[in-house]
Homo-oligomer: A and B are copies of this chain.
Amino acid sequence: MRIVSADTGGAVLDGAYEPIGLIATAAVLIEKPFKTATMSIVKYADPFNYDLSGREAIKDEVFLAIKLAKKVKPDVIHLDSSLGGIELRKLDDPTIDALRISDRGKAIWHELSKDLQPLAKRFWEDTGIEILAIGKDSVAVRIAEIYAGIYSAKWAIEYAREEGSIRIGLPRYMKVEIHESRIYGESLDPREGGLYGEIESNNEGIGWELYPNPVARTFMVLEVWRE
């Protein structure tokens, strides 16, 4: 089974360690033994001008996952939306109303599905690849989340080179290590069975520190600065 997934994460933090805006959407290709990605791509957002309602993220994720899927032809696409694994192309208004989710979640999906449902339908007709709203049960979604954190670290390094320093929040219970020519990241939850990721990055002349976010237990803060 070859799975493409996408997720958005990493946030610029304010002085109170609260998120200002998200940094990176990563799409990944996952293959057996499902512990890391065999390919990854990224799309950066502007964290200083970001809609935190979650609508922007899901759209970015669908577009980026389809972009990668066109290239690598996976068996299926996993989306970070926990709707019980339903196919995105089937998410019409009556189906959304029948979901066991909050009223707020339904309102968001009524709006999102206007664009995304026809897109998913067309993609499935062209390729036979389903886009499933499987969410937190998917290891592929979690690996995409870890890569979103790794790419956010890369973004932070580039930002610090220009601006001097920055403080970002990583996705839930993961850490990163910044080496001279690569960034390594891994899950801090051993129950997940050893999920990790790595990308190349020129990190010379950069200092960094990783520590728990005091107001968001199980989330880590990464500070990077130009040395």
Contact = CB atoms under 8 A, between A and B. Distances in A.
B1 A213 contact: no
Nearest to A218: B191
Interface string A122-155: 0000000000001011111010000000000000
A67 to B, nearest CB: 21
B217 A192 contact: yes
A94 interface: no
Interface stretch (A27-35, A45-53, A157-165, A198-206): A27-35
A216 B16 contact: no
**Chain A binding surface SS class:** loop
A138 B35 CA distance: 30
Contacts of A211: 32-35, 193
Contacts of A30: 214
Residue from A32, A188, A214 with most neighbouring chain B CB atoms (10 Å): A214
Contact of A191 (B1, B137, B189): B189
Contacts of A193: 173, 175, 188, 210-212, 218, 220
